[in-house]
Amino acid sequence: MIVPLLAVAASVAVWCGVYRRLVGHPLDPMALTLYYVALLLLWRPLTLAAGLDTPFPTEVFAGRDVGGLIVGGQAVVALWLLAMFAGARWLTPLVRPTMLLFPRRRTTLAPRVVLTLAVLLSVAALAATAVLWARYGGPTGLIQAAKVDRSVTESRALRSLPLMGALLSVAAFYSVRPRAYGQRLLALGLVVLNGVLNFTWGARDVLVVSLVALVAGALLFNRRMRERHGDLSGLSWLRDPLWRRRLVLVAVLALGLAFALRLARDTALIGGAAPSIEGQGPLRAFSVATNTTLYDTLLLILDDWPDEQPFHGGRDFVDGAVTSVPSVIAGEQEPFVSPAVQVAQTYVDRNNGFPATAVGDWYLNLGLVGILLGGLLSGVLARAAQVAFARFREDPLVWGFSLVFMLRIFPGGLWATSLPRWVAIGLPLVLLALALDLVSRRRSGAGTGLSPPHEDRRRSGGLPAGSPPVPTPP
């Protein structure tokens, strides 16, 4: 037990070093990426190394040296973190083209316009989802079709409607005057509505992301908080009890909501908790329900590849890129089988997958070389997001965008499935940002409101001190 714990401690030390050097503000995109890595690749192995839980699924790990696997797993995690640091610091020429993946908000809309757009998008989301309820026999029928039968054939772009409605609703909540209670209550109601609509699609992300955006957003958009904590950087927020309490509260509420929604979905589908949760200990049930067992799958991959199974040679990333092209352009294609599903079918007969984080996707395809390459590219991605979302402290919609991209599309780095997710979720948000800028510029009669220059961003917390300059697109 001592050696695995020491391995976890060493990887935590590497994480802290990377965090201090790359994070400019405790809620910037790089920080969000590293929080995700910490939850799945530091907290989970800590529970395993301390004997608080056993790897999942239990039967697959029978006879394996779990302690030795944890030591090897944390070595890979440390390598990933160091590669991310190198990519963010030394591959700055790649940052500018990578910024094209992210929406750029150059203008600010009036609060009334934001609230109006939130209402319109929420109505569109309700109408689209109601049509599917009618087709599949109600909300429960749609959940069944989306999560079990996999028979929902409608465009994935429809699923972005509740997400966009929720983001604009959160932005409206923080854009209107604090004492405009009626408007704020309407915005909160729209957030809940869009979250429920998204839940009937079998997903939990809108409600969870919206909760994080609202609770953590108070640290960004409350005037007194901004005045008191304007210069936080690195791990300095640990010295402030209010920030410590609020960030812990965000994590507890988000994971608690994810757990409750998983139980609610299981109850709607089968009348109770799923077999993987029912009868398990509290920590095991919570870990499975919140999808924090991805590290366990990473251990399986590290143990069985390439000795028992061949590396995929990068084909998962190629197939993911190909399947991202709309069928009207590329024609009919073979269904994309994600690495998570391929790994699951190696061990058990099931349609759902065993995802292994971005680290696992890269190792599964290219081994240790993949860890280095994937970490470098993930560091570039997170750095590009820091620049693209530099206004997240001034614009609540930018704050919402950063949460979606860093926790939903590129969680912890670049996955084999990130490009399909970007097409389904990110591209509509990029187009939404372009449309909003166009509306704002027409209303103002000029293209004002450009993003601040790089040095201003650094002082406002968008980038860590000492960061090399990144050219800003015109």
**Has this prediction a pTM greater than 0.85?**
yes
The first and second tokens of residue 31, run together, are 């920080």
- Kindly report the number of other CB atoms within 10 A of residue 461's CB atom: 23
Please list the pLDDT of the chain residue by residue as tens digits (474 residues): 799 999 999 999 999 999 999 998 899 999 999 999 999 999 999 999 999 999 998 889 998 999 999 999 999 999 999 999 999 999 999 999 999 999 988 777 889 989 999 999 999 999 999 998 998 899 999 888 888 777 776 666 677 899 999 999 999 999 998 889 999 999 999 999 999 999 998 889 999 999 999 999 988 887 666 655 555 666 667 777 778 888 889 999 999 999 999 999 989 888 888 888 887 888 999 999 898 999 999 999 999 999 999 999 999 999 998 888 866 565 566 777 889 989 988 888 766 788 999 999 999 999 999 999 999 999 999 999 999 999 998 899 999 999 999 999 999 999 999 999 999 899 999 999 998 888 777 766 544 443 333 333 444 445 666 666 554 443
Cα separation, 374 vs 341, whole angstroms: 20
Contact, 152 vs 142, CB < 8 A?
A: yes
The first and second tokens of residue 473, run together, are 């697109």
Cα separation, 474 vs 472, whole angstroms: 6
Q: Which of 413, 455, 389, 411 is nearest to 106 (CA)?
A: 389
Q: Which of 159, 127, 154, 171 is nearest to 433 (CA)?
A: 171
Peptide bond into 57 cis (omega under 30): yes
DSSP 203-259: --HHHHHHHHHHHHHHHHH-HHHHHHSTT--TTGGGG-HHHHHHHHHHHHHHHHHHH
Task: Give, to the nearest 10 degrees, the angle between helix 357-388 and helix 2-22.
Answer: 20
Task: Give, to the nearest 10 degrees, the angle between helix 2-22 and helix 66-90.
Answer: 10
* Burial call 295-315: b when 16+ CB within 10 Å, e when fewer: bbbbbbbbbebeeeeeebeee
Contact, 439 vs 109, CB < 8 A?
A: yes
